[in-house]
Amino acid sequence: MQWAWLIPVFCFAAAPVIVVFGRYLPERGSWLSILAIAGGFVVFWFVLNSWLNADVATMGCFISENSGMLTCDYDRSWFNAGVIGAVGSVSLHWGILIDPLTIVMLGLVTFVALMVQIYSMVYMEGDPRFGWYFAVHSMFAAAMLTLVLADNFLLLYIAWELVGICSYLLIGFWHERPEPREAAKKAFIVTRIGDVGLLIGILLIWRDVGSFGMTDAFEAVRVGVMTHGQEGMSQGVATAAALLLFLGAMGKSAQVPFHVWLPDAMEGPTPVSALIHAATMVVAGVYLVARTYPIFSAYDADPLLIVAIVGLVTALMAASIALVSTDLKRILAYSTISHLGLMMLSLGAFGYTAAIFHLMAHGFSKALLFLGAGSVLHSTEFQDTGEMGGLRKVMPLTALVFSIGALSLGGIPILAGFWSKDEILLAVSDNRNTAFLVMALFTALLSALYMGRAMFIVFFGDLKEKNNHAHESPIGMTMPMALLGVLALGFGLISFNWPGDFGGIGTFVFFGHGEEFHFEVWLGAVSIVLAVGAFIFAYLTYAKRSIDLDYARSRFSWILNVIENKYYFDEVYQWTIDRVVLGISGFIAYFDRAIVNDIIVNGPADVAREVGIKMRLHITGHVYAYVLGMALGTIGLSIFVWLRTV
């Protein structure tokens, strides 16, 4: 298990090799990156296996006081700030921490990344920067894996930032067009704003605990709670820290009001969207909250309420936008945001397991959807759903897997999404009041709706002739989709408790104490009804076109307007940037030149020269004037002497 660090290291190693030698390697060295991630995937199984066989006796392992999960921590010193042992010196570490949460994420990341990279081999074929693409890809994978392995906040932050920059590079991959450029910049800066919060939070915790180690921080919190803040971390600090951390999480996980970057991020290559902006990076925020759950849930868990509210608002808003958006990838993007919101909601509702479960289910399904969308774009070169329709005739497999993904996220039973969403609803109904539950259900309804809409518009109805040339994608693309499809289908089954010692995911990833799987019948029934109903409605509307929405559209045009303009977030931000930020900086720049430089700096210089020019006039060139000067000087001097002596 202590060899888990190999997983990221493979990819870290692959990236520079590709950058430097890529152009000399066959396939631009892309296979290197695939090899690396595949190696990571293999190692993941060893890690899982050895964790299953591990117990408290195993080196570095212990039962976490907070989560109650078997946790293994392997620490390495990085460097020391200040002489070792001296007062106030800080030693910085990078070590790995392995518990079910980590393992789950490892599995998700390695698997999806592997799939996506194989997919990309075909998808990105012939791109001038083919090698660079894969280099950044494995860089990203490495960073993401480090992020989930990190056992201290510093390393986590490092990985966090690296993930961000890789996402920047990949979104802006086609930088020749202006949109990707802008999108990339937007993504990085918006998330960066959250990161400021994260960093401050980390430093705050460090200041209180004196260490960046997560286990130390959690321990401090635990002690604080037990001693009612006498020692350890006080409630104030814990709450502040939690909120600051959450700020970072909001940035990465595109929660309102930081969600604006994710839709634009769709300017990147589709596989990138699949990997980074659906399955892995965007869930880093959720992971962070889950990872630092002890801090969030400490004392009376006020932060979790905020998490829940933010999550709910995000989920609703995004779902509503997804419903009206016409760009296929953007629909998926908003659905991603919406589901991230759901995960946050679930975390906020003490649905730890549910959140992680949904994270996985969504990860597989959404990756699948994006890859499907990718293969659609690949063959039709269209992105606007208006241009599509009836594609199932030309690309059946894509249609199939896409539908699987859509249904899964829509919450149709048996599929992964259903179970995880059900868990979430359960948590909400248990721990939050009815309003939450109702809105959650409404979100579920919406997500079923827009999923159905996308699916039916694109693949059903009759084929447009401009898409006649469209064709099924090659095996290199379909194979990964198929594999993901299988997972999207069957993954939900791990939620049950099977015969044998595996009591369902609830006993694997949990916070506090493991729970067997259980199923609230009425809730399940409601959600099934909603989902199925929504899909039927969508079918009738968009495939059969038997229901006409024009009346509703005209009736609620103003709402529609607001939604279609994405609640004017971008406009507001744009205005702020143009008017406020650039205004200020422009003023400062002007101030620096006009005031500081031209007046405060040049002023004295000019004054001095003026003084010189004026002062020299006292030398008139007339000898008697000089004598006069001397005489006066003499008198003055005599008086001065006089004064000094008597």
Partner 1 sequence: MNDFNQVALLLLIMVPLAGSLLMMFMPGEDKKEAWYFAIFVSGISLALSLIIFARYDYDLGGFQFIRTYEWLPGPLDINLSLGIDGISAPLVLLNGIILFGGVLISQTIKHRTRDFFVLLLALSAGVYGVFAVRDLFFLFFFYELAVLPMYLLIGVWGSSTDFGTFLRTKEYGAMKLILFLVAGSILVWVGILAVYVEAANNGAATFSLQGLGVLAQTGQFDPTFQTWVFPLFMVGFGVLAGLWPFHTWSPDGHVAAPTAVSMLHAGVLMKLGAYGIIRVGIFLLPEGADNWMPVLVSLGAVNVIYGAVSAMSQKDLKYIIGYSSVSHMGYVIIGIATLDNVGMGGAVLQMFSHGVMTGLMFLLVGAIYHQTHTRDIMVLKGLVGRMPVNSFFFAIAGLASLGLPGLSGFVAEFMVFVGAFRTYMPLAIIAVIGAALTAVYILRLLARTFLGEADPQWPDLKDASPIEMSVGAAFVGIIIFVGVWPEPLMRVINVGVQTIPGV
Partner 2 sequence: MVDLVWFQLLSAALFAIGIYGVMARRSAVLIVMSIELMLNAVNINLIAAASHMEGIGSFANFDGQLIAIFIITVAAAEVGLALAIILRMFRNKSTVNVDEIDLMKW
Partner 3 sequence: MNNLTDNLELLTPEFALAGLAFLVFVVDLFLPKDRKGFLPWLSIAGLLALIAGSLVMLWDEEELLYDGLLAVDAFALFFKIFFMGLGVFIILSSMDFVKNKLDHQGEFYGILLFSILGMNIMAQSRELLTAYIALELLSFSLYVLAAYAKGDARSNESALKYIIIGAVSSAILLYGVSMVYSTVGVTKFDDIASALALAAEVSPALWVGVALILVGLMFKVSAVPFHMWAPDVYEGAPYPVTAYLAIGSKAAAFALILRLVAEGFVPAGDRWEQWQLIIAVLAGASMLVGNFVALAQKNLKRLMAYSSIGHVGFILAGIAALSSSSDLASNGVMFYLVGYSITNLVVFAAIISFFNMTGKEMIADLGGLADHQPFLAASMAMGMFSLAGLPIFAGFTIKFYLFTAVATEGLLWLAGLAIFSSLISLYYYLQIIRQMYIEPAPAADGGGDLLQAHPALTQRPSLTLLTVLGSGMAAIIWLGVYPKPLIDTIQAASRAILP
Q: Which residues contact partner 2 (rule: CB under 8 A)? A: 616-617, 619-624, 627-628, 631
Nearer to partner 3, 430 or 610 (CB): 610
Q: DSSP strand E in 304-374: where?
A: none
DSSP lists the bridge partners of residue 419 as none
Task: Tell which positions 566-605 bind partner 3, by CB under 8 A.
Answer: 605
Residue 525 contacts which entry, partner 2, partner 3, partner 1, none (Cβ below 5-8 A, type-dependent):
none
> Rounded to the nearest whole angstrom, what is the least distance from the CB of residue 602 to partner 3 in the complex?
13
For partner 1, which residue of 21, 49, 62, 90 counts as binding (CB under 8 A)? 90
Gap between the Cα atoms of 53 and 68, Å rounded:
17
> Rounded to the nearest whole angstrom, what is the least distance from the CB of residue 635 to partner 2 in the complex?
11
> Rounded to the nearest whole angstrom, what is the least distance from the CB of residue 184 to partner 1 in the complex?
8
Gap between the Cα atoms of 227 and 232, Å rounded:
8
For partner 1, which residue of 116, 154, 288, 313 counts as binding (CB under 8 A)? 154
Contact region for partner 1 (CB under 8 A) — 201-209, 352-360, 504-512, 528-536? 201-209
Q: Which of 549, 409, 436 is nearest to 492 (CA)?
A: 409
- Cβ atoms of 94 and 245 closer than 8 Å: no
Nearer to partner 3, 564 or 606 (CB): 606
Q: Which of 240, 423, 421 is nearest to 335 (CA)?
A: 421
Q: If residue 96 lies in a helix (H) or strand (E), which one and from where to where?
A: strand 96-98
Gap between the Cα atoms of 311 and 570, Å rounded:
20
Q: Does the footprint of partner 1 cover residue 579 (CB under 8 A)?
A: no
- Cβ atoms of 281 and 144 closer than 8 Å: yes
Q: Does the footprint of partner 1 cover residue 642 (CB under 8 A)?
A: no
> Rounded to the nearest whole angstrom, what is the least distance from the CB of residue 636 to partner 2 in the complex?
15
- Please report where in the chains the tokens 């774009």 appear, as a residue: 377
Residue 178 contacts which entry, partner 3, partner 1, partner 2, none (Cβ below 5-8 A, type-dependent):
partner 1
> Rounded to the nearest whole angstrom, what is the least distance from the CB of residue 363 to partner 1 in the complex?
25
Q: Does the footprint of partner 1 cover residue 81 (CB under 8 A)?
A: yes
For 513, counting Cβ atoms within 10 Å of its Cβ (0-12 exposed, 13-18 middle, 19+ buried), the class is: exposed
Instruction: Give 329's Cβ-side CA count (13 Å radius).
Output: 25
Q: Is the four-CA dihedral 18, 21, 24, 25 of positive or negative sign?
A: negative
Q: Does the footprint of partner 3 cover residue 616 (CB under 8 A)?
A: yes
Full 3-state SS string of 576-617: HHHHHHHHHHHHHHHHHHHHHHHHHHHHHHHHHHHHHHHHHH
Full 3-state SS string of 526-557: HHHHHHHHHHHHHHHHHHCCCCCCHHHHHHCH
Q: Does the footprint of partner 3 cover residue 636 (CB under 8 A)?
A: yes
Contact region for partner 3 (CB under 8 A) — 164-172, 301-309, 492-500, 608-616? 608-616
Q: How many CB atoms lie within 10 A of CB 229?
A: 16
User: Cα Rg for the chain, rounded, in angstroms?
Assistant: 31
For partner 1, which residue of 56, 57, 59, 83 counts as binding (CB under 8 A)? 83
> Rounded to the nearest whole angstrom, what is the least distance from the CB of residue 608 to partner 2 in the complex?
17
Contact region for partner 1 (CB under 8 A) — 202-210, 319-327, 418-426, 635-643? 202-210
Residue 593 contacts which entry, partner 1, partner 2, partner 3, none (Cβ below 5-8 A, type-dependent):
partner 1
Nearer to partner 3, 549 or 637 (CB): 637
Nearer to partner 3, 52 or 627 (CB): 627
Q: Which amino acid is at 615?
A: M
For partner 1, which residue of 158, 243, 439, 563 counts as binding (CB under 8 A)? 158
Q: Is 62 helix (H, G, I), strand (E, B) or coil?
A: strand
Residues contributing to the site for partner 3 (CB under 8 A): 605, 608-609, 611-613, 615-616, 618-619, 621, 623, 625-627, 629-630, 632-634, 636-638, 640-642, 644-646
Residue numbers at the binding site for partner 1 (CB under 8 A): 78-83, 86-90, 154, 157-159, 161-162, 165, 168, 172, 175-176, 178, 181-182, 184-185, 188-189, 192-193, 195-196, 199-200, 203-204, 206-207, 581-582, 584-586, 588-589, 592-593, 596-597, 600-601, 605
